[in-house]
Amino acid sequence: MNNDKLISEVKELLSKCFNTTRIKIIDDSENHVGHSGNSGGAHLNLEIVSVDFEGLSRVERHKFIYKCLDGFIPEKIHALKVLALSPSEL
């Protein structure tokens, strides 16, 4: 399964939602083929760095990311592992 187009769309959308200095997305879907509950959507690992996350808790950061990606989850993206940092945390 090739999710390059989806990854490009996700990067573009995240760049519009947040003032980012880094967005890295790894497609981990191949490691989940055949698992029960896998509806066919992508399994992605996201690493994102943004000044917008400064002073926010991990839960708040994740909520903002999921809100930004509304419409992708759960159909296009089945699972999303997130590492969201502010520049001061690097």
Q: How far apart are CA 5 and CA 86, in angstroms?
A: 27
pLDDT at 71: 92
> pLDDT digit string (tens) for 15-29?
999 999 999 999 998
**Tell me, what DSSP letter sits at residue 70?**
B
Selecting from 3.30.70.100, 3.30.300.90, 3.40.50.2300, 3.30.499.10, what CATH number does the domain 4-89 have?
A: 3.30.300.90
Is residue 39 pLDDT above 70, yes or no? no
pTM of this structure: 0.89
Starting at the earlier edge strand, list the strands of the sheet with 20-27.
Answer: 20-27, 42-50, 77-85
User: Is a pLDDT exceeding 90 seen at residue 10?
Assistant: yes
Each residue of 66-80: pLDDT tens digit?
999 999 998 899 899
